Amino acid sequence: MSSVIWITGLSGSGKSTLAQAVHNELMNVRPSSSVFLDGDELRKLFAKCGENSEYSEVQRVEYAKKYSLLCKMLAEQGIIVVIATISLYSQIHEWNRKNLPNYFEILIEANIETLKKRDPKGIYKRFMCGELTNVSGLDLEVEMPCSPDHVLLAETNYNCESEASKIVSRVLRLKQNEN
């Protein structure tokens, strides 16, 4: 049985780092049964396929729908999917819960000051300088998940590998209970 581990939060919260750690832990436990998807990389891929490269709120929702459908397709083939994506829209979270097998949602919460300090892509700095718009959590409203399965606070400086191990244990336990 497959699963989708959906890791969400604002830009700079640590989604990709945690997702990579979860994927690595899965590969240690079950080699070749998981795939790691990163929202930034998926968006670039879709843009290369002739997609509109605009990143408005409407386009973000469309991308999130595509990410969900891709996760569903992969999971239906028995793959455990680990995805890191902002995709903070209630309609996406609800659809995922109803349609993705063994859906496990992780929210990484971070206050704006932490995100501004981290800012690995320079998004917050460019926004503050007026060079960038359509930034989730700033000029674009976000809808945090109502009931994520696991919540991490970026400000606590959690140990990524330790959290990844806990998450994988929970997901595999859920899968066993389903069978």
The active-site residue out of 87, 90, 136, 169 is 87
Inter-CA distances, 87 with 29, 40, 78, 128, 173, Å: 28, 11, 24, 22, 26
SS3 state of residue 108: strand
Token pair in block for residue 56? 């408005």
Cα separation, 98 vs 45, whole angstroms: 26
User: Euclidean distance between the first and final Cα of the chain, in Å?
Assistant: 8
Please say if 53 is a catalytic residue. no
Catalytic residues: 87
